[in-house]
Structure 1
Amino acid sequence: MTAEANDKKTHFAPELHIPNGTFNIDFYIKFGATEHFIFRNDDGSIHVAELEIDGAIFHLHETMRWFEANEPVTAKGVTAVIGLFVDDVQEVFDRAIVAGATGITPVTDHDYGYRQAMFKDPFGHYWQIQKKISSGKSI
């Protein structure tokens, strides 16, 4: 799905907070994201960037203290888990690791009908890469 087609449907576009003074978001490009736009502050640091992974749009935004949103390092913990549905969980997980992510859980087929893996990106955001593989078992 293209970004233009995505604009015509209701969808989530998570905003991932990054530390003020961040100049480099190369991890996301190495991971396979396409940059739509990037706005920089006067010092060249990133204010906001819009990125897309196979039709899934997300934003990186410098931490804005006026509404008390923090990136995971300052918050000292996970602030959200980004769930990304893909066709090939292993390939996407491996691509993230090569780009600089840290593996949290390996690719696993679960009884509830999902193949999933989790990694942490260099800014501390957790991503759950997943694919529905069956209707799952009753719990």
Structure 2
Amino acid sequence: MITSTGASTHFAPELHIPNGTKSIEFYTRFGATENFCFRNDDESIHVAELEINGAIFHVHETMRDALEPVSAKGVTAVIGLFVPDVEEIMQQAIKAGATEINPTTDHDYGYRQGMFKDPFGHYWQIQKKI
């Protein structure tokens, strides 16, 4: 059993980026707020915490046996983000430099969804229940 001490329970995905990455500007252009960013001696990013309307996620340089999508040669996870306006967020991501994978579509199972790939190869499924 998981118990709470009053704080809400939520997921905070950690997206791995290639070692030596110096800019994660895509995420702020996409609309994320950077809460903090720790850099290595060479000014490359070690770890940063970002937030999109209360949804927290981290980007972290690749470590141990973890792979980011480029070196893994494929998708390592799909980030599902629930938002009020799927099309607005999809367009914002594409304008910021994302690549559309699936256009915004209403599905029979009751979701409006669109999917894009960010510049680091991570797939994002933008969605809302309809």
Task: Give the TM bin, normalised by the shorter chain.
Answer: over 0.9
Query: Is 1:49 aligned to residue 48 of structure 2?
Result: yes
Superposed counterparts of 1:26-41, under 5 Å? 26-41=25-40
TM-score normalized with structure 1 length: 0.89
Distance 2:67 2:60 in 1: 10
Distance 1:24 1:122 in 2: 11
Aligned CA-pair RMSD: 0.8
2:126 corresponding residue in structure 1: 129
Letter matched to residue 19 of structure 2: N
1:96 corresponding residue in structure 2: 93
Query: Percent identity over the alignment?
Result: 78
Distance 2:68 2:8 in 1: 28
Q: Which runs of 5+ in 2 are unaligned?
A: 1-5
Distance 2:108 2:115 in 1: 17
Q: Which runs of 5+ in 1 are unaligned?
A: 1-6, 134-139
Q: Tell me the matched-pair count.
A: 125
Superposed counterparts of 1:1-139, under 5 Å? 8-64=7-63, 66=64, 68-133=65-130
What is the deviation of 1:8? 1.7
Task: Please identify runs of 4+ aligned residues in structure 1 that moved more than 3 A.
Answer: none
What is the deviation of 1:53? 0.2
TM-score normalized with structure 2 length: 0.95
